[in-house]
Structure 1
Amino acid sequence: MMGMGLHKRLLFGTLAVGCLLCVYVLALTLEMPLVPLYSFIQRTSSNSRDSEKPLNRQSNSDQLAYPPPVSTLHPPLKTHIVQKQVLDDGIPKSRSDDDDKARIDTKRATEKPVQAIKHAETSKSRSEEENKARIDIQRPTEKLVEAAKPTEPPFIGDFYMSEDIPPQTDCSDSIRDRVGKTEFGERFLENIPVLQWAKHATREQHQRLSRYPGAHGWEGIDFKTLVETLSVLNSSANWQMLDDWKTRDNKSECRRCALVGNGGILKNSQKGKEIDSHHYVFRTNGAVIKGFEQDVGSRTTHYTFSTNTLMNSIQSYAGAGYEGPPVSKETRYIFLPDHDRDYLLMKAAATHTLVESGREKGKNPMKYFGEDVSADKLKMYHPDFIRYLRNRFLRSNTLKTKYKYIYRPSTGATMLLAALHTCDQVSAYGFMTPDYKNYSDHYYDSSYHPVGFYANHDLRMEMDLWQQLHKAGLIRLYMRN
C-alpha cells in the first residue's frame, strides 16, 4: 500500500512538472511576456486612476445650454454644421513658440481611440505647466482620422454668443437692411456681440472661450483676472459702440461712419473735410493727424488698437509725428485684446491707476489716453466677434499652416468690419486697393515704402474683401481710379 501511494505521488508530480513545461514552451512560442502577478495588478490600478480623472466632454448641444440669461449661441454656417464634437472639444493646444510641433499623445490609449481623446480632454487647463503637454499625431488610429474628416479644426470654433440688441435708429437704408440681399447674407450675424463687458464674465462663458487663443478667446486668462478687469466695463456705454448717438444734435435717421486707415492712397487726397463730415470717425494704430488734416481730417471718435500695436506704433512712427492715441472729448478707445496685457491696461485706464502686472507693469495709462479718460470711454472687442470675422469673412489659407495660431484679421480690418455691424452707412478711406503698389505704405511716409506682408495677417485677402463689400453696396471705398 505504501509503495502504491508513493507511486501515485510521483506520477502526480511528474504530471505537474510536465504541465508547467508545456505552459512555458507555449509562452515562448507565442512570445507572451511572463509578468509577475503584482506587476499586472499595479498597472491595472494605474490605468483605473487615469480613467477616473474628471472629464470635460461637452457636445455642441452642451454649449448651447450655457449662455447667459439674455444670450444664445449662433450655430455655425451650414457648411460647418456636420461636426463631431469629439475632436472639437477633445484636443488641447500647446501655445508655446513651437505650436507647429505640438502633438497628440496617444501612447496611453488602451483599446479605443476615443480613450486617447478623453485623456486629452483632461489637459484643457491653460496654465503654464499644462501648456507643456504635447499632442502626438504621429501614430493616429484609423477611427481617429476618420472622425476628423467632417470636423472643423478645434481652434476654429464656429459657434458664437447671440444677444438681442435693439437698433438705435430707424434708418431705412442701413447695412443690416441691405446685407441679406447680397452674397454676405449667410455669413452676417446681426446679433453677435461686437463688444464684451462685465456681464459676459461668467464661469460658463470662461469655460467655453478658454479653448481659443489670442484675440479669438480667453485662453491663458484666468477667471479671476477676467472678472477683475471686465468688471470696470459695467455701463451701457461699454457695450454700445455708438453710445452717444441719442445725445448728438442731428436730425439724421442714419448713422454715417468714416473708417480711416493709414494707407498711402490718402496722401494728397484732400478728403479731410469729407471725412470729418461723418457722424463718427474711426482711426487705428499709428494715426498721425497733425500736418495731414487736409487729407485725413482732424476728428477721432473711435480709436481701435491692441496694446501691442499701440506700443509698436509709438516706437515705430515717432519720427512721423505719432505720440500716441488721439485725445479729445468725443474719443472712445476700443481695445482689441490679444493677450491679458490688454485687459490689464484697460483696467488701469478705467481706474486711473498704474498697470499692476505684465509687460506694462508700472506704466501710467493716462499718458496714452489723457487725464480725462474714464470707464465710459473704454470698449473692448468680444473674442467671439474676432473669431467670427476670421472664420466667416477672412478665412485665410494661413489657417492651414504652422502660423494658424498667430493669424487674425488686422486691426484695421477689425475696425472696418465692426463698423459694418454697428453703423448704418460706412465709408472707408486709406484702405488697401488693387493699385496699392502705386502708393507708399502710409500716407505720412516721407519717402516711398512698399507695403509689408506678414504671416499674422492676410492683407491681400482683406483687400479683396473691401472690393467685394464695395461692389455689394455695403461700404463706400475710396479709390483713386
Structure 2
Amino acid sequence: MTGMALQRRLLFGVGTFSFLFCIYILCLNLQRPLTRFIVPPRIHQASDLPAAGSSQDSKEPPERQNVANQRSLWPLTSTSNPSRVTQAATPPKLQKPAQNKSEDVLKSSTKPPTVRPLRATAATEPPFIGDEYMREDAPRLTDCSDSIQVQIRKTPFGSRFLGRPPVLQWAKHATREEFGRLSRYPGAHGWGGIGYDALVETLSVLNSSANQQMLDTWETRGNKSTCIRCAVVGNGGILKDSQKGTEIDDHHYVFRTNGAITKGFERDVGSRTTHYTFSTNTLMNSMRKYAGDGYRGPPVSQETRYVFLPDHDRDYLLMKAAATHTLVERGPERAKDPTKYFGEDVSAEKLKMYHPDFIRYLRNRFLRSNALKTKYKDIYRPSTGAVMLLAALHVCDQVSAYGFMTPDYRNYSDHYYDSSYHPVGFYINHDLRMEMNLWQQLHQAGLIRLYMRH
C-alpha cells in the first residue's frame, strides 16, 4: 500500500514538472517575435561617428532624434526577409465624399490608372514593404542613345530599375481604388493618415500636363536628338571653393533642395534653380535653422518648379493653398500665405508632388536599409536629397551630382555655407552612409557623374 502511494506521488511530481516545463517553453516562443528586430545590428562603434546632434538644430521634431550607433555602409538590398513582423494596418473604411467641384474635375479626367505588380511580392516579405507599384506608360522625351534609362539595363542596377512607376502624382491618381491600396502605407510611402476628401481636393488642382511631367518645359526648349542634362545639387560642404557654379548652371535643368542658398555662393554652386524639392517639414526647419546663413526660403524665378515630397497631410494642405492662392486651412501652417514662400506668381502649373509609389520604390529597390527591421521602420525613408537625385536618374538622360556625401566627408563641413566647421549629423529616419555608398556605385557604373575632390 505504501509502495503504491509512493508511486502515485512520483508520477504526480513528474507530471507537474513536465507541465511547468511546457509552459516555460511556450512563454519563450511567445516573447521572441516582440524583441527580435528592436535593436539594429551594430557594425561600428559610436566613437567612429561624428558627434551626436552636431549639425542639426536641437528643436528637430522627435522622429529626427540622433542615433549614436548608426550603421556604416549597409548593403543596398535586404540580406534577410524576416517572417515575423507587425502586420500592416487594415485600410480604413471609405466614406463617400461630398459632391464638389474638385470631384467633378477628377471625373472628367482620363480613365483611372491601372495597377499591376511590377514584381511579385515574396511570401516571406513584410506587408509594409509593398513592392508593387502602379505602372504608367509615359513617352520618352528624347531619342538620346546614351540615356541613363538605356545604359542602366547593362549594369548591376538593371534588375532593380523599373522604368514605369509614376514619379509624380496628380488628379488622375485620386481614385477610391488607389486610396484603398495606398492608405495602408504611412508617411511618404502611401496615403496613410490622409483623408480621402482632403486627397481629392488637393490632387484635383494638379490637373494640367505640367503637373504630370517633371520636365514639363522640354518640348518648348529642346529637341528629340538632344540628351537632357541635369545637375542635381546637394548642400554638402564639399562644394565650398569648388568653383563649379558655371558648370552647374550650364545644364538644361538644375535641381536643389532644402536650405539651398545661392546668393553669395554663385561661384561655387551656381544661381539657377529649375526644380526645388522639399517637404513642408524640411522647408520650415530650413527657414528656422539657416536664416543666419542667409536662407530666406525657396528660390523664386520664372523657371523654378516646386516639387513636394509629401511626408504628412500638411504637405497636401500647403500644396492646395499654393495652387489656389489661399491661406493654409489647418495644421501647423494654419493661416500662412504660401506666396511668401513661392512668390506672387506661383501657380498650379509650377507645382508638382512625388507619388508615394515612387518613394516606396526607391526605398525598396535602392535604399532598403536595415532600419526597416527595427521599430523605426515607419519613419525611415530616403533623404530628401536622395529622392531628388534618384528622381533625376529616372527623368533625365544624363545626371551630374554635386554636393553629395563622399567617403571623405569628414574633411568638409556639413554645408558649403557654414561659417565654421560642423560635422555631418546622422539620424535614424535616413541612412546617409547607405546613400553615400549608392552614389559611389552609380558613379562607378557610369550612370551619374559624381563630383569628388579626389
**In which range does the TM-score fall when normalised by the shorter chain?**
0.7 to 0.9
What is the CA distance between 1:150 and its match in structure 2?
Answer: 3.8
Inter-CA distance 83–479: structure 2 relative to 1 (3 Å threshold): closer
Asked if the contact 2:135–2:166 (Cα under 8 Å) also holds between the matched residues in 1, the reply is yes
Question: Residue by residue, what CA displacement relative to the aligned partner does 1:72-99 show, whole Å, maximum 9, x if unpaired?
Answer: xxxxxx999x999xx99x9344xxxxxx
Which whole-Å CA distance do the structure 2 matches of 1:242 and 1:236 have between them?
10
The TM-score normalised by the length of structure 2 is 0.75
**What residue in structure 1 maps to residue 182 of structure 2?**
209
Say whether 1:407 aligns with 2:380. yes
Matches within 5 A, 1:123-162: 124=92, 150-162=123-135
The alignment of Structure 1 onto Structure 2 pairs a total of residues equal to 352
Of residues 390, 405, 410, the one that matches 1:432 is: 405
Which whole-Å CA distance do the structure 1 matches of 2:245 and 2:254 have between them?
11
Say whether 1:338 aligns with 2:311. yes
Asked if the contact 1:272–1:296 (Cα under 8 Å) also holds between the matched residues in 2, the reply is yes
Of residues 226, 230, 233, the one that matches 1:260 is: 233
What is the CA distance between 1:227 and its match in structure 2?
Answer: 0.3
**What residue in structure 2 maps to residue 394 of structure 1?**
367
Inter-CA distance 316–149: structure 2 relative to 1 (3 Å threshold): same
Say whether 1:311 aligns with 2:284. yes
What is the CA distance between 1:151 and its match in structure 2?
Answer: 2.2
Which whole-Å CA distance do the structure 2 matches of 1:457 and 1:328 have between them?
30
Say whether 1:183 aligns with 2:156. yes
What is the CA distance between 1:359 and its match in structure 2?
Answer: 1.3
Inter-CA distance 207–286: structure 2 relative to 1 (3 Å threshold): same
Which whole-Å CA distance do the structure 2 matches of 1:162 and 1:476 have between them?
28
**What residue in structure 2 maps to residue 421 of structure 1?**
394
**What residue in structure 2 maps to residue 363 of structure 1?**
336
Which whole-Å CA distance do the structure 1 matches of 2:224 and 2:372 have between them?
45
Question: Residue by residue, what CA displacement relative to the aligned partner does 1:336-359 show, whole Å, maximum 9, x if unpaired?
Answer: 000110001001000000001111
Q: Secondary structure at the match of 1:185?
A: helix
**What residue in structure 2 maps to residue 452 of structure 1?**
425
Asked if the contact 1:92–1:124 (Cα under 8 Å) also holds between the matched residues in 2, the reply is no
Matches within 5 A, 1:18-417: 91-93=87-89, 121=90, 124=92, 150-248=123-221, 253-417=226-390
Q: Secondary structure at the match of 1:160?
A: coil
Inter-CA distance 200–249: structure 2 relative to 1 (3 Å threshold): closer
Asked if the contact 1:441–1:451 (Cα under 8 Å) also holds between the matched residues in 2, the reply is yes
Which whole-Å CA distance do the structure 1 matches of 2:336 and 2:129 have between them?
35
Which whole-Å CA distance do the structure 1 matches of 2:260 and 2:224 have between them?
30
Which whole-Å CA distance do the structure 2 matches of 1:149 and 1:326 have between them?
43
Which whole-Å CA distance do the structure 2 matches of 1:347 and 1:162 have between them?
26
Q: Secondary structure at the match of 1:188?
A: coil
Question: Residue by residue, what CA displacement relative to the aligned partner does 1:202-221 show, whole Å, maximum 9, x if unpaired?
Answer: 00000000000000000011
Asked if the contact 1:195–1:379 (Cα under 8 Å) also holds between the matched residues in 2, the reply is yes
Q: Secondary structure at the match of 2:181?
A: helix
Asked if the contact 2:322–2:339 (Cα under 8 Å) also holds between the matched residues in 1, the reply is yes
Task: Give ranges in structure 1 of 5+ residues lacking alignment.
Answer: 1-77, 94-120, 128-147
Which whole-Å CA distance do the structure 1 matches of 2:147 and 2:222 have between them?
20
Inter-CA distance 261–79: structure 2 relative to 1 (3 Å threshold): closer
Asked if the contact 1:198–1:233 (Cα under 8 Å) also holds between the matched residues in 2, the reply is yes
CA RMSD after TM alignment: 2.4
Inter-CA distance 205–264: structure 2 relative to 1 (3 Å threshold): same
**Structure index of larger Rg:** 1
Identity of aligned residues (%): 77
Which whole-Å CA distance do the structure 1 matches of 2:217 and 2:144 have between them?
17
Inter-CA distance 363–445: structure 2 relative to 1 (3 Å threshold): same
What is the CA distance between 1:149 and its match in structure 2?
Answer: 9.8
Q: What amino acid is the match of 1:417? A: L
Displacement over 2 Å in runs of 4+: 90-93, 123-127, 148-151, 249-252
Question: Residue by residue, what CA displacement relative to the aligned partner does 1:317-349 show, whole Å, maximum 9, x if unpaired?
Answer: 000000000000000000000011000100100
Asked if the contact 2:143–2:224 (Cα under 8 Å) also holds between the matched residues in 1, the reply is no
**What residue in structure 2 maps to residue 471 of structure 1?**
444
Which whole-Å CA distance do the structure 1 matches of 2:292 and 2:94 have between them?
40
Asked if the contact 2:142–2:225 (Cα under 8 Å) also holds between the matched residues in 1, the reply is no
Question: Residue by residue, what CA displacement relative to the aligned partner does 1:238-290 show, whole Å, maximum 9, x if unpaired?
Answer: 01000000111678611000000000000000000000000000000000100
More relative contact order, 1 or 2 (CA 8 Å, 6+ apart) = 2
What is the CA distance between 1:390 and its match in structure 2?
Answer: 0.3
Asked if the contact 1:126–1:220 (Cα under 8 Å) also holds between the matched residues in 2, the reply is no
What is the CA distance between 1:395 and its match in structure 2?
Answer: 0.4
Q: Secondary structure at the match of 1:480?
A: coil
Asked if the contact 1:176–1:424 (Cα under 8 Å) also holds between the matched residues in 2, the reply is yes
Task: Give ranges in structure 2 of 5+ residues lacking alignment.
Answer: 1-76, 96-120
Q: What amino acid is the match of 2:436? A: M
Asked if the contact 1:353–1:364 (Cα under 8 Å) also holds between the matched residues in 2, the reply is yes
